[in-house]
Amino acid sequence: MFSSNSTAHLPNPLTPLAFLSPEEAYLTTVTTYASVAALAVLLWDILDNVAGDYRLVKSQLNISLIVYFASRIGAIGYLVGSVLFSTTATGNCVALITIAGSWCPLAFPCSAFLFLLRLRAVYNRDRVIVTIFSILWLGLLASSFFVPLGIQAAHIGPTKYCTIISVKKSAILGHLTPLIYDTLVFVAISWRLCRIACARPSGPQERLKVVLFGRYLPAFTKSILLDGQIYYLTTMIGGIAVAVLELGPGIPIPLKYLPIDPYIAIVNIMACRVYRRTKLGLIRESEISTTAIDKKHAVHAVVFKNVTVTSGDTIRRRASFEGSASTIPEVEKSDLV
């Protein structure tokens, strides 16, 4: 218990930050600003895409659309709880941080599920790959339940304001699992896109150019690759920041918690952006599905009929393709030799 004598020497005993060291007070303030900013950015993104979301609802209600909105609700729920934890005076810090963290099993898996749907569209005829990544997604879902169980909170001095006092390794695992999962999905999709390059890349350097810059890829396939790269890049940067700060020794607790809220907001925004662009027809994933690729790579025999030789250096001919009829324009004699 803090007595009146113990708080008399404080410059401003009415603020909870007065009961922290100057360094802890500064880091706590920065972390609070980061939480508020993350919530504001996510709300702005939702409002900015209301028209697109309305078109999605009008089109057709299915499981992917339900997951899309569930990911939004989970991210908002977590960020609202985090902001309330950092800015309001409550009587039970443990209950508040547990409620805020309880939104993670909804936010993390749903955002990752949108990326799983992307992989499923590309590997629509490869049940082994889809099954493997579905099992990995279940592992991500299980790990997300460790987040609300691994964060401990307490009151700041005699006040009713709260602060985080420890983050267990189990919670860190829940924060980093989406990064690992998204990395595997991104590699799998990139490998599939490399297989349908317009020109077969020769050597590891040429293959790397396909993965990084979309070289030799058709326009729509390149759009899918670049969108995936943007999504993965944001996830990677946020995930690395979380990993470094949470796993680094001697880092203050407020600083460990600093990147988590922006990380959740950015990952949700990018995952929903990719899904929205695909669903609204801005990107056609069906063009790179296993079925579509097999059709494009099918070879049709050409049978020439009624060949007529005319004066001059050209031959006019009618041709019929196996399965469909077509007319071939003028060609040079040398083309038939």
Q: At 197, which helix (H) or strand (E)?
A: none
Q: For residue 331, what is the DSSP state?
A: E
| Per-residue pLDDT tens digits of the chain, which is 337 residues long | 444 444 555 556 667 777 788 888 888 889 999 999 999 999 999 999 998 888 888 887 888 899 999 999 999 999 999 999 988 888 788 889 999 999 999 999 999 998 888 888 888 778 899 999 999 999 999 999 998 888 888 888 888 888 888 888 888 888 888 888 988 888 887 777 776 655 555 666 666 666 665 666 666 666 666 666 677 777 778 888 888 888 888 888 888 888 889 999 998 998 898 888 877 765 554 444 444 445 544 433 333 344 444 444 443 433 333 333 333 333 333 332 3
Global pTM value: 0.74
Q: Please report which residue ranges of the chain form alpha helices under DSSP H.
A: 4-7, 22-48, 50-59, 63-87, 93-101, 104-122, 127-144, 147-150, 169-194, 203-213, 219-247, 253-257, 260-279, 290-296
Q: Domain 4-295 belongs to what topology?
A: Rhopdopsin 7-helix transmembrane proteins (1.20.1070)
Look up residue 67 and give its two tokens. Answer: 């997951």
C-alpha distances in Å from residue 215, one per residue of 191, 192, 195, 245, 272:
13, 14, 12, 36, 26
Q: At 44, which helix (H) or strand (E)?
A: helix 22-48
Parse the chain into domains and list their residue ranges.
Answer: 4-295, 299-336
For residue 302, give every residue at least 6 positions away whose Cβ sits within 8 Å of its Cβ, in sequence order, or none. 319, 321, 322
Quick one: residue 312, left, alpha or beta (phi over 0 = left, psi -120 to 50 = alpha)?
left
